[in-house]
Amino acid sequence: MEEQKSNRVKLNVLGVTYTQIQNGAYALVLAEENGLRRIPIIISSSEAQAIAMRLEHLVAPRPLTHDLFVSFAHSFGVRLIEVFIYKFEDGVFCSELLFDDGTRRICIDSRTSDAVAIAIRAKAPIYTTEELIRNWGIVFDEPESEEAVSAKKTRQNDWEDMDVEELQERLDEAVEEEAYEIASQIQRELKKRDENRFQ
């Protein structure tokens, strides 16, 4: 784990968007700081709401679970140092939270959605590895803007039935439309085929 942390990329929370791939799910989009790469992470509606509320500076009538967790930690002098997204395995991004109580530091495993929801409340930085963002991130040629958002929607496709050329065309379309989660799935399919060529 220490070797991974020596070559890290800082991420910012870009936002949460409704996903066209899975009903009732959302895509949490993390952006490389001072870079053009984005990581879309599929999360549930409850975590999406928790993150979106904080990003919009909305306050719930009563503390949500993540608010309660941060308040509890602060009350006992425990500080969140950082969130580290350290690997992608079986379709899931794995994260850990690093805490400090003044005398020792402890890492706790966490779902990435929960880790991000806590991090934005505790104003803690979020990091990932260069390898992870290189393999699973989406690269944009130009910075995103509201004018770049297209009204056209990309439907879910059976990527396995498409040839490489068609997949690349769909990837270009998804990137242009900023359909992060679709672009990520296509990129994974292309990467899988590329790896299979050398086996």
Model confidence pLDDT, tens digit, residues 51-103: 888 888 777 788 889 999 999 999 999 999 999 999 998 889 999 999 999 99
**Cα separation, 71 vs 77, whole angstroms:** 10
- Extract the tokens encoding 81: 């140092």
In the chain, what percentage of residues exceed pLDDT 90?
Answer: 39
**Cα separation, 34 vs 41, whole angstroms:** 20
Residues 6+ apart with CB under 8 A from 95: 83, 84, 85, 86, 109, 110, 111, 112, 115, 116
Inter-CA distances, 65 with 46, 84, 107, Å: 10, 21, 20
In the chain, what percentage of residues exceed pLDDT 70?
Answer: 75
**Cα separation, 190 vs 129, whole angstroms:** 21
* Domains observed in the chain: 2-149 (3.10.690.10)
Q: What is the pLDDT of residues 33-56, one digit of tens each?
A: 988 899 989 898 888 888 888 888
Q: What is the pLDDT of residues 108-151, one digit of tens each?
A: 999 999 999 999 999 999 999 999 998 888 876 544 444 433 33
Going by C-alpha positions, the residue among 95, 110, 96, 114 that lies closest to residue 47 is: 114
- Extract the tokens encoding 10: 């800082």
Q: Where are the alpha helices (DSSP H) in the chain?
A: 2-5, 45-55, 65-75, 112-122, 130-136, 164-176, 180-196
User: Global pTM?
Assistant: 0.68
